[in-house]
Every structure is written in structure tokens, then in C-alpha cells.
């Protein structure tokens, strides 16, 4: 098996999958680092990739592409009923009309929380996530506890996030099993009347757009 040859014996990053990030095993981590560097060297020498282009990708996700994009879209929808309508009809198209948010790819679907229905997004099979709106997904989104439980015990998952919803609220879980991507449009919290779009964007957390949290208004 090709795999066996390419991998050394006991090279495990224990703990990551569980959301912890103690560097409890420096020798293993540095071994991975060396192996990744070796592969990059090979790909570069073969002319497959230009390392400067890789730098640019990394930098974009570290500095430009994050949940602020989604938060702006949510704040806009909270203050502009026509935009909200367009967003729920075709999110990719509606967001394309906004100058201050980067263009998003096809197949984005916005789903609206209401007093009756709470939406939650998961990808049980891998890690599908609306990168352009929320940046790269957090470790917990990609890890087994969330992926396994979200479709069967979403209220238990919400409890892990400290969120409790009324029993009568319908929980609507969207499993991202194809190239469609989902963005939750949370409910605008009470007490935010008259706030500007910028102020509103500040309270839209990443988790509120995944459905594992709610917008945060400081008391």
C-alpha cells in the first residue's frame, strides 16, 4: 500500500481531533513540519507550485477572509428588507450586488432563523463550510464530536455551546453533503433598534452564522 511507505510508524497528532492544542509532543509535530516542508520542496522543484503563490493563499485566509464577511451580510439583511428578501432567494447573487463584501461562489444558500425554527449547519462527511463568508472552519466543526452528533442530538450539541432553545423550537439541521453551502441568518436581537449596520455587524458571531451560537449583545 502506497500509504504505508509514505508514512512513518507512530506519527500521530493526538488530541487535535478533540479540540485541544497542547503541543504535547514536539517531536511528532516537528516531524510533520519536516515532511510537509519536504513535499513543498519537491512540488516547487518540479514546477508544480510557486511558493510565493502559496504564501499568498495562506495570507489571504489569515488576514482577509473571515467571519466579518458574513457578519456584514447579516447586518445588511437586518436593516434592508429588500436585500434580505434577495438574500433568501439567491444568496450568491444578492451578495454579488454588495460592493463591500468579496464576491462569493455559486450555490450559497441563506437560511433564516425565526421564533419557530432554528437552523444549524454541519458536514457529517467532511468539512464543507462557507469559506468565503466565514473563513476557514474551526477545529470543532471538522471534528468527530460535532459531525457525529449534530444530526442526531443537536440540542446536546447546543448545550456544549451553552445555548438552550425552547423545546417547541424546531431544530433544522442542514447536512452539507454537496457543493451547496449554507449561511444561517440569525434573528436580530431585541435592544438593537436604531443601531447602524456597522454596530450590528459587531454582534454577529461566527457561531451564530453556523447555528451553534446566537448574536452577542453585551448586557
Partner 1 sequence: MNGVHDMGGMDGFGKVEPEPNEPTFHHEWEGRVMAMVRAIGANGGINIDMQRFSRESLPPVVYLESSYYKKWFLALQRSMLERGMVGKDEIEAGRSLRQNPPLKRGTFSMSDVQRIMTRGSFRRDPPAPAAFALGERVRTKNINPVTHTRLPRYARGHTGTIERINGCHVFPDTSARGEGDNPRWLYTVVFSGRDLWGDDADPMLKVSIEAFEPYLEKLR
Q: Which of 9, 47, 162, 194 binds a second copy (CB under 8 A)?
A: 9
How many angstroms separate the CA atoms of 169 and 114, rounded?
Answer: 9
Instruction: State the burial class of residue 212 (Cβ atoms within 10 Å of its Cβ: 0-12, 13-18, 19+).
Output: buried
Looking at beta carbons only, is 104 or 195 nearer to partner 1? 104
Strand partners, 117: 170
26 lines the binding site for a second copy (CB under 8 A): no
Binding track over 92-121 against partner 1, x by CB under 8 A: ----------xxxxxx-x------------
24 lines the binding site for a second copy (CB under 8 A): yes
Q: Is position 123 annotated as part of the catalytic site?
A: yes
Q: Is 185 helix (H, G, I), strand (E, B) or coil?
A: strand
- Residue 187 interface partner, choices a second copy, partner 1, none, CB cut-off 5-8 Å depending on type: none
How many Cβ atoms are within 10 Å of 201's Cβ, its own excluded? 20
Strand partners, 119: 172
- Residue 207 interface partner, choices a second copy, partner 1, none, CB cut-off 5-8 Å depending on type: partner 1
Catalytic residue among 8, 30, 102, 126: 126
Amino acid at each position: 500500500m502506497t500509504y504505508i511507505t509514505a508514512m512513518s510508524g507512530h506519527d500521530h497528532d493526538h488530541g487535535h481531533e478533540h479540540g485541544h492544542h497542547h503541543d504535547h509532543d514536539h517531536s511528532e509535530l516537528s516531524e510533520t513540519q519536516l515532511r510537509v516542508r519536504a513535499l513543498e520542496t519537491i512540488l516547487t522543484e518540479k514546477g508544480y507550485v510557486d511558493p510565493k503563490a502559496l504564501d499568498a493563499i495562506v495570507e489571504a485566509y489569515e488576514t482577509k477572509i473571515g467571519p466579518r464577511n458574513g457578519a456584514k451580510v447579516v447586518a445588511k439583511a437586518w436593516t434592508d428588507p429588500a436585500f434580505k428578501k434577495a438574500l433568501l432567494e439567491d444568496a450568491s447573487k444578492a451578495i454579488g450586488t454588495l460592493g463591500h463584501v468579496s464576491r462569493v461562489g455559486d450555490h450559497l444558500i441563506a437560511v433564516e432563523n425565526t421564533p419557530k425554527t432554528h437552523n444549524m449547519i454541519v458536514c457529517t462527511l467532511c468539512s464543507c463550510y462557507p469559506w468565503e463568508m466565514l473563513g476557514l472552519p474551526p477545529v470543532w466543526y471538522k471534528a468527530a464530536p460535532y459531525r457525529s452528533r449534530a444530526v442526531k442530538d443537536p440540542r446536546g450539541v447546543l448545550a456544549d455551546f451553552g445555548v438552550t432553545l425552547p423545546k417547541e423550537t424546531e431544530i433544522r439541521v442542514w447536512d452539507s453533503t454537496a457543493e451547496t453551502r449554507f449561511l444561517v441568518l440569525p434573528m436580530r436581537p431585541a435592544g438593537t433598534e436604531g443601531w447602524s449596520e456597522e454596530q450590528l455587524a459587531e454582534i454577529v458571531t461566527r457561531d451564530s452564522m453556523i447555528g451553534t451560537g446566537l448574536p452577542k449583545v453585551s448586557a
